[in-house]
Amino acid sequence: MKTIETLEMIDISKSFHGVRANDGINLKISSGEILGLLGENGAGKTTLMNILYGIYQPDGGEIRINGRPVSIDSPRASIDHGIGMVHQHFMLIQNHSVIENIALGYSHSPALFPGKKIRQRIVSFSEKFNFNIDPDKKIWQLSAGEQQRVEIIKALVNGAGLLILDEPTSVLTPQETRDFFEILEKMKNDGQMIILISHKLDEIKKLCDRVTVLRKGRVEGHSDTDSLDNRSLARMMIGRDVVFSFSREKMPRLQKVLDVEDVKVDGDKGYQVVNGISFQIYRNEIFGIAGVSGNGQRELVEAITGLRLVRQGRIRINDIDITNESPRKIHNNGVSHVPEERIRFGIAPNLFLYENAILKQHHQKKFSRRAFLAYGRIRAHAQQLIKDFQVATPSINVQTKNLSGGNIQKLILGREISDKPDLLVASHPTYGLDVGATEYLRNQLLKRRSDGGAVLLVSEDLDEIFELCDRIAVIFQGRFMGILESDDPRIADIGLMMAGTKKIKTGDGADASL
């Protein structure tokens, strides 16, 4: 480990196309300390950390390590100075082993028997911090938590004295999260310094010694976490109070919208990953699917929205069979989709905002006349959409990729809701978003429910599931372990159901999958 006693970022500024992403930011961290970095989407956190990691160069300011100015003009230079970064989306090669992945980024391999040296270091760190990682396993054989530990080991093997962790618990189960917290405490006690980027205020309070809050590219404040509660942190982030709980009055379930009957679906590798699932969703209802990532949720959603073939079973919308129909035909029958991967599947990043505002709708009469698009109507629609859904943008003529994650998600949700769908399928709609954007999007889902729509919500955030859903299905290995009303006392067993150790018989479709 490189010896870093202190690291300072002093008066850091960075602009993109005339827009200030970082405006005179100061930050300091010392050995054996965990510093939380908070801010809305678009507040400048990622830009600041990309400067520290050498991906961007600042327009002004300097970085000091142990009181001395340093130049960090590339990730390699950052690593050489003892800085490591674990990205939100892991940078691992799935078909390679743990040791092969770590060797690829290792800059100090000896000429003779490099594998032996790297293996020794992996084992050493695993024992020291209770990582429990087998160096010979392929990455695809590891859980998300284990893959994250590989990324941390990779940084430590390269001598990182400072670790930057970007949304580290977003893909972890509750048990993996608890294990991860213990690992961070051990690393902190060993003198490691850690910068933790998180939107989860409870995590910041639990793990961090201090917090720096960014807002609109500037430092809103520094504070010891002991002196702040969640509401104070949220107020610093977005400049107003945030609602942490939502009122959801019971509504009668009268008209069935979605009927999924004994559906079986294959995964990407040709194996069956959805194993005979049946359920129904009604108007004025949010139906939640909870579960650890990789248990068939994605494939089930793709089957419902026409992105993946159904091998067996039937899917009906308002008694119309849409099984294996095209995404356009399913959309035309009243199904809208907020996809899990918003950049990859939710937008065309290089198109302008007004163009993305009508994706999947451009063929409708209100936006086209014969073979020609009605650009005046399209622009008016986009202006109304960004007003109604509070999309922060300088204009509708910007490339959509230049919006923050939260504003891209607001745009997608607004576009999908503007069609007033009978069924809104929302996959991880608030993943990676700040508390302000999360509050807004959750309110929009509740509004769709109260307006008579049906919502299928897939989320790994149990707080979100409990806050919003009328009924909750728990999925494990492609089967529902039970479907429960949100006020059912057996909901306390949801952790056991997610782990596959408990099944609950219910009378609304779950039995078919048991």
Q: Are residues 208 and 272 in the same domain?
A: no
- Structure token pair of residue 163: 């670790």
Residue 103 included in any domain: yes
Number of H helices, E strands in the chain: 16, 22
Residue 441 included in any domain: no
Q: Are residues 54 and 117 in the same domain?
A: yes
Q: Are residues 318 and 453 in the same domain?
A: yes
Q: Are residues 330 and 473 in the same domain?
A: yes
Residues 269-304: pLDDT tens digits? 788 999 999 999 999 999 999 987 778 999 999 999
**pLDDT of 511:** 43
Residues 438-497: pLDDT tens digits? 888 898 899 999 999 999 999 988 888 888 999 999 999 899 999 999 888 888 788 778
Q: Are residues 58 and 114 in the same domain?
A: yes
Out of 110-114, 144-148, 220-224, 234-238, least confident range: 110-114
Helices (H), ranges, 25-129? 45-52, 75-80, 98-104, 114-129
Mean pLDDT of 349-366: 87
Domain span including residue 481? 254-334+422-429+447-514
Mean pLDDT of 331-347: 89
**CA dist list (Å): 163 to 92, 187, 188, 204:** 17, 10, 11, 16
Q: Are residues 77 and 152 in the same domain?
A: yes
**pLDDT of 250:** 81
Mean pLDDT of 343-367: 87
Q: Which of 204, 238, 272 is the last residue of a domain?
A: 238
Residue 466 included in any domain: yes
**Of 106 and 142, which is predicted with more confidence?**
142
Whether residue 246 has pLDDT greater than 60: no
Q: 0.85 exceeded by the pTM? A: no
Number of structural domains found in the chain: 3
Q: Are residues 234 and 259 in the same domain?
A: no
Residue 72 included in any domain: yes
Band (pLDDT 50/70/90 cuts) for residue 259 is very high
Tokens 């003779």 label which residue? 112
Q: Are residues 33 and 80 in the same domain?
A: yes
CATH number at residue 85: 3.40.50.300
The rounded distance, in Å, linking the Cα atoms of 442 and 200 is 16
Residue 437 included in any domain: no
Q: Are residues 302 and 189 in the same domain?
A: no
Whether residue 145 has pLDDT greater than 60: yes
Whether residue 265 has pLDDT greater than 60: yes
Q: Are residues 231 and 267 in the same domain?
A: no
**pLDDT of 394:** 85
Mean pLDDT of 380-407: 87
Q: Are residues 374 and 503 in the same domain?
A: no
177 phi, psi to nearest 5 deg: -65, -45
The rounded distance, in Å, linking the Cα atoms of 191 and 194 is 10
Q: Are residues 282 and 396 in the same domain?
A: no
Residue 365 included in any domain: yes
Of 97-111, 322-336, 449-463, highest mean pLDDT: 322-336
